[in-house]
Structure 1
């Protein structure tokens, strides 16, 4: 299970990272044509600055295009139109992550006022908040999610206090188990199993929040990890990670919560894409003609950069 470094909660300075994400496919038979999209490149947002991000595809694609999707995520599309038995996509990026805003219960609005505000908000920016209240293909609200959420969101509890309590309860009540679910497991099934991985836990908390009328969005990214004391850090041993954001009102904005690790997010969490659920932000998707049996290997390496001028 990805876990943040020990000083996550105490982080109060920005951190610069170099990220290498390598995805390698091997095919038992030749692929004649493939078309793919990558969503692995960070973009500059309020909590993160992207210094650069480069994509390398092997074999070299015949066609490449880039655009931003509806949620502002960077999308790299490519097509390979000749026979191949291997495909490797490597994305190398460098970013600076800013510390999370200070979240104090005493100055936090109550969650019911956020519920009302998000329902009535208007304008283009308001639409991008309001629409995260509604169901999405992988997250469907319901009474069982609302009942679970309302244990944390009782009466007029401050949004910060309630959100953290729900985050910690999911961490406590659900077992991290890579064998319990798969990438297509429905959120209701993971909830009933009380088990899953970070994708499942993020979906469950989003379903809980939307079921009581609060906007919540899915966040994909990376988590800085550290080896156990006395052990050497393994290159490529880091993992992709997932968490969620709940809207905390105009003053607080989006609050990032990590139910896998029972914490609010800070500089150990490196956001890459946002969406309604995993389906909007899957790192690599596409279609192929041919290929036979496919094997997949993914390596992720997240390295703090010493000195702000390095690797620019």
Structure 2
């Protein structure tokens, strides 16, 4: 599937901002199942400094700053991405990794003096938006039963979150902790992803947060609306190698209770939202501001009929 993504962020400041520095994660990566074919970043007014680099997790990160006063800021990222489906359930080579009892994976990541380093281990620990709390372990134990294969348990956890949480726009803020969202039983895709990551870590299993986009389907008879989509988020769990095959990260979308496929575009991965926020920054001045975000995800080729996906 060939997808075009346009992500536009606009700020209006009162009074004007004197100086500012911003960081954005808006450039999709080329990785398994996804190839970036075009990317353009437009910033108005033109920044005094602009630099693109890789962050500590390998995501493309762009920094830019302004040294003069401005009352508006517009950032438009346009991407064209080729995606392919990754039907992991048919991947025979992954079978040994996916069918290992989840306790064996947990034991693999217990600290042992002299043990070989596995980079996935850094995704075991608490992070700013994903604390370690027994409430997450208790919630996850309903499906992480003794001896259950890791993939089966992970899919069951995804469904468990989808069933027990209610998707409700504006029910949480960007900074809402995962524990608060779990207690109130509702949230948005960011909260669903944070909860799944927190549950895995509480059980001793590495998990990370993924930001990106999802192609949504308009109601029958309705045209696709420009700017009506939104950023999306989901979780990723680590499946260690078996000595022959290397370790793999597999993605799970608890908001929509499905495995991400060719209708998803991945932007960045990190410990939680704070690591991969699409845009954040520090400003001097501009005591009041108005923020507008518009995202459009559209196919550039004729599509095969597909089941409608939930807007997240």
Normalising by structure 2, report the TM-score.
0.88
Alignment of 1:31-180 (within 5 A): 31-103=17-89, 107=95, 108-119=99-110, 122-123=116-117, 126-127=118-119, 129-180=120-171
Q: 1:119 Cα shift?
A: 4.2
Please report how far the alpha carbon of residue 122 of structure 1 lies from its aligned counterpart in structure 2 after TM superposition. Answer: 2.9
Mapping of residues 227-266 of structure 1, within 5 Å: 227-250=218-241, 251=245, 253-266=248-261
Distance 2:65 2:38 in 1: 23
1:117 is displaced (CA, Å) by: 3.2
Shift of residue 306 of structure 1? Answer: 2.1
- Is residue 174 of structure 2 the alignment partner of residue 183 of structure 1? yes
Q: CA RMSD in A?
A: 1.8
Deviation of the 1:271 alpha carbon: 0.7
After superposition, give the CA deviation of every residue in 1:224-253 in whole Å (9 maximum; x if it has no partner). 101011111101111100001011232571
Shift of the 122–303 alpha-carbon distance from structure 1 to 2, 3 Å rule, reads farther
Contact 1:105 1:158 in 2 (8 A): no
Change (3 A) 1:93 1:236: same
Is 1:20 the counterpart of 2:15 in the alignment?
Answer: no
Aligned equivalents of 1:200, 1:23: Cα separation in 2: 22
Q: Is the 8 A contact 1:114 1:247 kept in 2?
A: no
SS in 1 for 2:155: helix
**Which piece of structure 1 moves more, 94-103 or 269-278?**
94-103
Q: Do the aligned residues in 1 keep the contact of 2:33 with 2:262 (CA within 8 Å)?
A: no
Give the secondary-structure state (helix, strand or coil) at the position aligned to 1:264: coil
Q: Does 1:203 align with 2:194?
A: yes
1:275 matched to 2:270: yes
Q: 5+ residue gaps in structure 2?
A: 303-312
Q: Structure 1 residues 295 and 186, CA, compared in 2 at 3 Å: closer, same or farther?
A: same
Give the secondary-structure state (helix, strand or coil) at the position aligned to 1:32: strand
CA deviation string 1:102-159 (max 9, x = no partner): 2269932221222233447734xx22x1111111111112211111111111011111
What do residues 46-88 of structure 1 show as CA deviations (whole Å, max 9, x unaligned)? 2321122111100011111111000001111111111211100
**Shift in CA distance, 179/18, structure 1 to aligned 2, threshold 3 Å:** closer
| Partner SS, residue 231 of structure 1 | coil
Cα 1:104–1:134 change in 2 (3 A) is farther
Q: CA separation in 1, counterparts of 2:53 and 2:291? A: 26
State the alpha-carbon separation in 1 of the partners of residues 80 and 284 from structure 2. 34
Q: What is the alpha-carbon distance in structure 1 between the residues aligned to residue 110 and residue 86 of structure 2? A: 26
Alpha carbons of 1:152 and 1:244: their partners in 2 closer, same or farther (altered >3 Å)?
same
TM value normalised by structure 1:
0.88
Question: Is 130-139 or 216-225 further displaced after alignment?
Answer: 130-139
Report the number of matched residues. 290
* Secondary structure, aligned partner of 2:88: coil
